[in-house]
Amino acid sequence: MKSSSTGLLLASPRTHEHLTPTASESAAAMPSLIMSDSLLSSEEIKESKLKKAKEPHNSPSEEKKSKKKKKHVEIESNDGELDSSMDEMASEKKKEKKEKKAKKEKKRKTDEEEEDKSDTTSESTEMTVVEKKVPAANGPAMKKPKLMEQDEEMDEGENETTADDPNALSNYRLSKVLKETLNSKGIKALFPIQAMTFDLVLDGFDLVGRARTGQGKTLAFVLPILESLTNGIHKESRNTGYGRSPSVLVLLPTRELANQVHADFEVYGGAVGLFSCCLYGGSPYRAQEASLKRGVDIIVGTPGRVKDHIVRGTLDLKALKFRVLDEADEMLNMGFVDDVELILGKVQDASKVQTLLFSATLPDWVKKISTRFLKQDKKTADLVGNEKLKASANVRHLVLPCTRTARPQLIPDVICCYSRGGRTIIFTETKEFASELAGLLPGARALHGDIVQAQREVILAGFRSGRFLVLVATNVAARGLDINDVQLIIQCEPPRDVEAYIHRSGRTGRAGNTGVAILLYEPKFKFNVSRIERESGVKFEHISAPQPADIAESAGSEAADAISNVSDTVIPVFRSQAEQLLSSSGLPAVDLLAKALAKAAGFLDIKKRSLLSSMENYVTLILQTGKPIYSPSFAFSTFRRFLPDEKIEGVKGLSLTADGMGAVFDVPADDVKTFLEGQDNANSVTIEVLDKLPPIQDRDQSRGGNSGRGRFGGGGFSGGRHGGNRFSGGRGGNRFSNGGGRGRFNRRN
């Protein structure tokens, strides 16, 4: 356990007052380049970027000149806020392009010949850029598949097209080899957070960077750091040679994330001849020590292990040029404050070190702490700022009521209906439940802090490679993990911190792709959903548990595909059995085939499912009396007029509708008929089966219900499905046992 005695820890989210930056702080935090760009015309921006790209990397004297120039621009543009300036840039760009289009139309009409000679090439390529990318609210362009054909046709002119994009790689001081490496990864232009911070980092500023999840914050520090060390201001002074001490230290909260960021440094750093090393707990010291002894340029690690190396005397940070705190708020949240402070204090001369702090969430208390680690003239690049929506705009955020006991039956159906055949990550609050749930879902694996490190790495590699498609994880997987084709995130209950919601849901919808995040909640704790909605700025879509028709649609089509893929060679072998079955069943052939499809999809039976609580074998009904229903007890007294007590006792989760004109409630599927027929014995009372939940009043559900009123409970609603392997993923499926190897307790990583 970490001590909580430092000053920094006193500034924890629970105890610290939130501070709003003053106007002067905001102004000081403005990156000059962006502000200056936003005041220039697009031609001027392009020209200045192109000029900058052609410039050799700054010599110290040029450096000074360029800083002076920037300061001048800062003073001129001090009415701006950096927050959301990318939005302005995006709309600015849109406007410009619209104007250009109109201008072009006009020009074509009046002077066709001249138009042909001069403008066609550049204008048409400009158009391609516009159509190729739809600016997302605050981030990378959203992919627009419909335009692919047109894009493919334009392939030949692609270089010109990207060069016209102000964020094209060629417009930045990136070395040829880095540009080539980026190109080989399909990266042709910088994402907004990268474009916004590249020059600032290369020019020597400390920086606080915030952008929503999946918007490329990693390369936002990797690229300028590498350039700075190999061609920029730190080129001459950095250590080289055998046994050199590192120039860069990147600290991250989890081992998985450290590995991932290290992989980026290996690719891009390796391309420019820099060596990196990953230091994290749970792995042997010896290999790490050997690398450190040989000398490395970049260290990526978790605070605990980095500190251990410092204490053992195997890591010397005196010559650092860069310190990066990635997911800084989580590191401080996890109690790493002492370690982080000790580590950051190990540099010889803090004024010569650049410190960069990145996260998708920067609670005010972290911003305040940054004043302690970062220089006074630090810049802040905040793509979220004061905007209401803090979570990813590329994600559909859904909420679904579900009791604890209903979760194991519900989750496979949710995956079936929402994962679009891609990967799913399920977040649980506890390691125990992660293991338990993974054991219940065929082919799923668990990932949490009790699993030994080597096993954690195998599991993550298996998930990345598609060996299995469902990962059940605790918060160890919440931050930063960038895994291809994660289509669906399920959170088993609302997390305590809004930051956790933002990061977990951000494991999908990355790099301009879209995804779905579903938050399950116990109906009686609905207020937690409202809290997250309020704090994250997300407008949740309320959905109910997938119903038989939804499931049949998704699972049935999968099963149909599987059946179509069965070789015709099976027909002669199985035909006589099929004929026998057809004649003995008495069913039409199509009905029998439907049964076969259901079986292939893993269904032996379709159970009814409550809209209120997702419990199987419960059906949600609505009671209306033609006048307002003021309280649950009024609804119960109405029932007493026409229903026997033992049936009323089976009512669960009774809640009033938002308009006050109805009461919705669950009854066991077997009792539905009694309730529907009972209404015939009561005047002005209607009871109907609901197929969609109307808005209900947001208040303490415990007031509803009869005996044990409104408490959703009761377990043992077994699913209608046998242990099918629909969710076993690409290969091997349920060969994997539940990954709950009980390692030692390790709170930190």
Residue among 395 and 441 whose Cβ is closer to ligand ATP: 395
52-60, 208-216, 537-545, 718-726 -> range binding ligand ATP (CB under 6 A): 208-216
Pair 271, 738: CB distance under 8 Å: no
Question: 3-state SS string over 474-497?
Answer: CHHHCCCCCCCCEEEEEECCCCCC
Q: What stretch of H or E contains 470?
A: strand 470-473
Q: What angle do CA 741, 745, 749 make, to 5 degrees?
A: 95
Find the shortest distance in angstroms from Cβ 83 to ligand ATP.
Answer: 17
- Give one DSSP letter per residue of 529-544, joined into a string: HHHHHHHH---PEE--
Find the shortest distance in angstroms from Cβ 591 to ligand ATP.
Answer: 47
Find the shortest distance in angstroms from Cβ 532 to ligand ATP.
Answer: 18
Find the shortest distance in angstroms from Cβ 91 to ligand ATP.
Answer: 21
Q: Count other C-beta atoms under 10 Å from residue 449's C-beta.
A: 21
C-alpha to C-alpha distance for 311 and 304, rounded to whole angstroms: 11
C-alpha to C-alpha distance for 90 and 398, rounded to whole angstroms: 28
Q: Is 161 in the site for ligand ATP (CB under 6 A)?
A: no
Residue among 249 and 328 whose Cβ is closer to ligand ATP: 328
C-alpha to C-alpha distance for 338 and 335, rounded to whole angstroms: 8
Could you say which residues in the range 605-664 bind ligand ATP, by CB under 6 A?
A: none
Q: Which two tokens stand for residue 352?
A: 């010569």
156-164, 214-222, 459-467, 643-651 -> range binding ligand ATP (CB under 6 A): 214-222
Nearest to 46 by CA among 154, 136, 170, 224: 170
Find the shortest distance in angstroms from Cβ 140 to ligand ATP.
Answer: 7
Residue among 145 and 284 whose Cβ is closer to ligand ATP: 145
215-223, 371-379, 401-409, 725-733 -> range binding ligand ATP (CB under 6 A): 215-223
209-217, 313-321, 419-427, 650-658 -> range binding ligand ATP (CB under 6 A): 209-217
5-13, 117-125, 504-512, 718-726 -> range binding ligand ATP (CB under 6 A): 504-512
C-alpha to C-alpha distance for 674 and 667, rounded to whole angstroms: 10
Q: Which amino acid is at 675?
A: F
Residue among 163 and 211 whose Cβ is closer to ligand ATP: 211
Residue among 85 and 213 whose Cβ is closer to ligand ATP: 213
Residue among 505 and 728 whose Cβ is closer to ligand ATP: 505
Query: Which residues have a Cβ under 8 Å from the Cβ of 421 and sit 6 or more positions away?
Result: 487, 558
Query: Which residues have a Cβ under 8 Å from the Cβ of 386 and sit 6 or more positions away?
Result: 83, 84
Find the shortest distance in angstroms from Cβ 504 to ligand ATP.
Answer: 10
Pair 220, 198: CB distance under 8 Å: yes
How far does CA 215 lie from the centroid of its chain?
Answer: 10
Residue among 215 and 749 whose Cβ is closer to ligand ATP: 215
C-alpha to C-alpha distance for 121 and 119, rounded to whole angstroms: 6
Q: Site for ligand ATP (CB under 6 A): how many residues?
A: 19
Q: Is 190 in the site for ligand ATP (CB under 6 A)?
A: yes
Q: Which two tokens stand for residue 620?
A: 């949600």
Q: Is 360 in the site for ligand ATP (CB under 6 A)?
A: yes
Q: Is 211 in the site for ligand ATP (CB under 6 A)?
A: yes
67-75, 185-193, 489-497, 694-702 -> range binding ligand ATP (CB under 6 A): 185-193
Could you say which residues in the range 511-550 bind ligand ATP, by CB under 6 A?
A: 511
Cβ neighbourhood burial of 408 (10 Å; 0-12, 13-18, 19+):
middle
C-alpha to C-alpha distance for 689 and 573, rounded to whole angstroms: 46
Find the shortest distance in angstroms from Cβ 111 to ligand ATP.
Answer: 38
Q: What stretch of H or E contains 128?
A: helix 120-132
Among 214, 224, 246, 253, indicate the residue that binds ligand ATP (CB under 6 A).
214
Q: At 189, phi and psi to the nearest 5?
A: -145, 160
Under DSSP, is residue 333 helix (H, G, I), strand (E, B) or coil?
A: helix
6-14, 183-191, 459-467, 702-710 -> range binding ligand ATP (CB under 6 A): 183-191
Site string for ligand ATP, 455-494 (x = CB under 6 A): -------------------------x-x------------
Find the shortest distance in angstroms from Cβ 186 to ligand ATP.
Answer: 7
C-alpha to C-alpha distance for 36 and 49, rounded to whole angstroms: 12
Find the shortest distance in angstroms from Cβ 213 to ligand ATP.
Answer: 4
Residue among 383 and 643 whose Cβ is closer to ligand ATP: 383
Q: Is 363 in the site for ligand ATP (CB under 6 A)?
A: no
Residue among 182 and 469 whose Cβ is closer to ligand ATP: 182
Region for residue 675 given its phi and psi (left: phi exceeds 0; alpha: psi -120 to 50; beta: otherwise): alpha
Find the shortest distance in angstroms from Cβ 383 to ligand ATP.
Answer: 10
Q: Is 506 in the site for ligand ATP (CB under 6 A)?
A: yes
C-alpha to C-alpha distance for 217 and 207, rounded to whole angstroms: 12
Query: Which residues have a Cβ under 8 Å from the Cβ of 746 and sit 6 or more positions away?
Result: 281, 282, 449, 450
Q: Is 80 in the site for ligand ATP (CB under 6 A)?
A: no
Q: Is 263 in the site for ligand ATP (CB under 6 A)?
A: no
Greatest Cα pair distance in the chain:
94
Residue among 220 and 434 whose Cβ is closer to ligand ATP: 220
103-111, 129-137, 190-198, 586-594 -> range binding ligand ATP (CB under 6 A): 190-198
Among 32, 215, 228, 614, indicate the residue that binds ligand ATP (CB under 6 A).
215
Pair 167, 198: CB distance under 8 Å: no
Q: Which amino acid is at 634?
A: F
Q: Count other C-beta atoms under 10 Å from residue 143's C-beta.
A: 17
C-alpha to C-alpha distance for 403 and 388, rounded to whole angstroms: 30
Among 42, 128, 161, 218, indicate the residue that binds ligand ATP (CB under 6 A).
218
- Give one DSSP letter per residue of 315-373, joined into a string: ---TT-SEEEEETHHHHHHTT-HHHHHHHHTT-S-GGGSEEEEEES---HHHHHHHHHH
Find the shortest distance in angstroms from Cβ 211 to ligand ATP.
Answer: 6
Find the shortest distance in angstroms from Cβ 80 to ligand ATP.
Answer: 24
For helices 176-184 and 217-230, angle between their N-to-C axes, nearest 10 degrees:
150
How long is the chain? 749
Find the shortest distance in angstroms from Cβ 220 to ligand ATP.
Answer: 7
Pairing state of beta strands 207-210 and 379-382?
Answer: parallel
DSSP 234: T
Among 197, 213, 276, 474, indicate the residue that binds ligand ATP (CB under 6 A).
213
107-115, 154-162, 187-195, 266-274 -> range binding ligand ATP (CB under 6 A): 187-195
- The residue ranges of DSSP E strands in 558-708, in sequence order, are 618-624, 652-656, 662-668, 686-689
Residue among 130 and 195 whose Cβ is closer to ligand ATP: 195
Residue among 27 and 190 whose Cβ is closer to ligand ATP: 190
Residue among 330 and 616 whose Cβ is closer to ligand ATP: 330
Find the shortest distance in angstroms from Cβ 594 to ligand ATP.
Answer: 42
Q: Is 255 in the site for ligand ATP (CB under 6 A)?
A: no
Q: Is 390 in the site for ligand ATP (CB under 6 A)?
A: no
Among 456, 510, 526, 609, indicate the residue that binds ligand ATP (CB under 6 A).
510
Nearest to 228 by CA among 178, 167, 188: 178
Q: Is 219 in the site for ligand ATP (CB under 6 A)?
A: yes
Find the shortest distance in angstroms from Cβ 334 to ligand ATP.
Answer: 16
Pair 702, 709: CB distance under 8 Å: yes
**Which stretches of the chain bind ligand ATP, using CB under 6 A?**
187, 189-191, 194, 211, 213-219, 360, 480, 482, 506, 510-511
